[in-house]
Structure 1
Amino acid sequence: MSEHTFSLTHILNNLNIESLNAMQEDALEAHRTHEEIILLSATGSGKTLAFLAPLLERIDRDSNTTQALIIVPSRELALQIEKVFKTMGTGVKVTCCYGGHLRETEENNLKDTPALIVGTPGRIADHIRRENIRTQTIHSLILDEFDKSLEQGFDEEMEFIIGSLPALRYRTLTSATEAVPVPDFVGLSNPHYLNYLTGNESEKESLSIEWIESPDTDKQETLFDLLCMAGSRSAIVFCNHRETVEDCSHYLKKKGIYNEFYHGAMEQRDRDSALCKFRNGTVNVLVTTDLAARGLDIPNIRYIIHYHLPHTEEIFTHRNGRTARMEASGTAILIVGPGEYLPEYTAEKAKPVQLPAQLELPERPKWSTLYIGAGKKNKINKIDIVGFLSQQGGLKPEDIGLIEVKDFHAFAAVRKSKLGAAMERFKHEKIKNRKVRMDIMK
């Protein structure tokens, strides 16, 4: 058995994946014979593994140098890639760099030279200018969702970064959108294309498209009805404006629907908390802007509700990419208000929603989220938290859900019916000899 096969088997086992899909296999083979690749594939198709697996074959594990750089348009996507890479269990050091938290934390991480750096253009450019990143040995560059980075105006930062990589040899660009021009500063000369876009990505068989008419310009009552129909199944509600996101979230809470809101003006800890509570089942509804339309890897989302109609077909496609991922099915619902019309690209495919005669409030979620005021930088990991909750809190394995550990804090899902008693048991206890603040997230 070759080293590549052994390594790949190990990686797939760690990711709980039986085998690569056709796109990932083609990408792995193409990276072995081409230095420049443009990979076009739909959201949710597995692009992250398609570029991480071949990247590992180019990393020298015996070299204490930075060898690869992945640039992404958002901190959420950077954190997602870092999480996938760490789950692969390769032992290769990775560091994530993004705005919204202390630069000094990243500077300390960069001192212990990582082989791979994942980050957003502004923060990576800042580290290069401060000479925190040693660029002389970086031979591989991946621009994930490069079209979005260009849309968000990161041209200057990206040009500076690429111009700072004297040893750059391998370039991989990925996108879920076709026909985006690649700027000259990327330095492509003869790229190999892998195009897995069908030309109509919103027509996945696993995704059904529906619409409902709202009698009011303010669509909140119609949204409430839809979420009652959805019951306890997870749903993301997309709005075009931050103010509407918060208004809808507050309205739904008053009506008895547990939810979290999420947008770009929030503090990083609040964004982390909102996503964590949605991922772990503390809430089943996330109200958000298009910030959540790309890069968020949240499994088993059943409904995408377009509270505001998307401005373009591309936005529609990316929003819908949060559901019907891989083999799962999902439903996208557009709410059409007075004076609005179904977009042309949905008119033939969309079917009217059939609301049941009787609507009931969804059941309350069975999980709560516990905030723990210590994290990775305090040498606390998931195993420590599980042990603490089990031993000091008296919780059984089935009472402990998803645990997410950040740099300086962590979140743990605990069965709501057991959390009160557990809090009493461990309110004076310590984790790894450290007194740590704990709160139930409201």
Structure 2
Amino acid sequence: MTTPDKAASLKRMKTLATALLVVVTLLFVVARREGWPWLAAFAEAAMIGALADWFAVVALFRHPLGLPIPHTAILPRNKARLADNLARFIRDRFLDTASLVARLRAADPASRIGVWLQQPDNARALSDRLGVILVQSLDFMDDRRVRRLLVHALRKRAAGLDLAGAVGRILDALTENRRHQGLLDEGIRKLAAWLDEPGVQAAFAGMIVDVASKEYPKVVAMLGLVGMNPTELGDKVSVGIVHGVNGLLDEIAADPHHPRRQAFDELVEGYIERLKNDEALRDKIDAMKRDFLAHPGIAKYVDGLWDDLRGWLASDMARPDSRIRARLASAATAIGASLAANPALRDSLNEHIERTVEGLAPQLRDGLSEHIAGTVRAWRDEDLVREIEHSVGRDLQFIRLNGTLVGGLIGLALYALTHIL
């Protein structure tokens, strides 16, 4: 990129080369007038060399003296070809897939990442950067237009979901190899433990007495006449019921082929089959899904939930002792330690990075070469000339200086050779 220093340096070299041309021209005039043939030969050849090299250097960038001489202004006239050649050169020499993967493998990025993440300052810096990204993402998501778009997309996606079929497939997977019987066993254990609790049995006894008192008040009154306490009777009945239920549960738990288990299998299988093939049930579930998604309270609930979540995240990220940033830094350090201590993990990460580069490199290199070619083509001719001339123009002015001196020496040598012969 052009800088004031480059421009000033180029201007100084141009002035020096032009000044040398002026000097040899004056020297030629004086030598011819004073009759100094050797010096005149040197000065004459030096002028020719200086002018020839001036023409060659200027012809690279523009038309000399503004004259449309053929094969001048070479760079602007061939800008498109230069752009394509430059892009192909960078693509083929620096961005070929094999070279990129080889350099990546030699760099061992997983080890470097592990060492870098183990530094507390680096882990904190990474967590701070991730925190900034998170806050910016929250601000973006908080835009009402974006939020409406997301809610609309979610509703559209959910509306196209085959809920009945999805539930059926999930239940089918859960019942494979009779895994649902394990759920039944766990339910039996939980129910038995719950029934054995004294409070549950007392509640049953109370319910029995309450129901009997309401539905059969005369029977309860007769129990009092014969000296029997209704509460004690309720306790005995509830204990008997619990004992009977527990006995049935023990039988089911102990017998893999118990009729109740078979009934449970038939119930689950029948429900799964209905979810898959019963159009009436599927339509009913789909209608329930649509009603649920269309309910205005759903959108309000999602908005409120998002506002609460965003408020909590923003509040935490604004604090110096942010828990989220602390967790991120801790996770980064832990990842670094794992990479440092586990060669297999490093090899796995390196392999994944290499495969990613191999997959993306062709598209990236082609895209980058097109970008370079397009950028150079889009430059104005004067901008292209200025950038290249300021980058290499100083060195090209040395050609003019060398052409002046070398041309003069060659002219002097030729003059000497003609006189000697």
TM band (smaller chain)? under 0.3
Which structure has more RCO (C-alpha within 8 Å, separation ≥ 6)? 2
TM-score by length of 1: 0.16
Greater Rg by CA: 2
Q: Tell me which protein shows more helix as a share of its residues.
A: 2
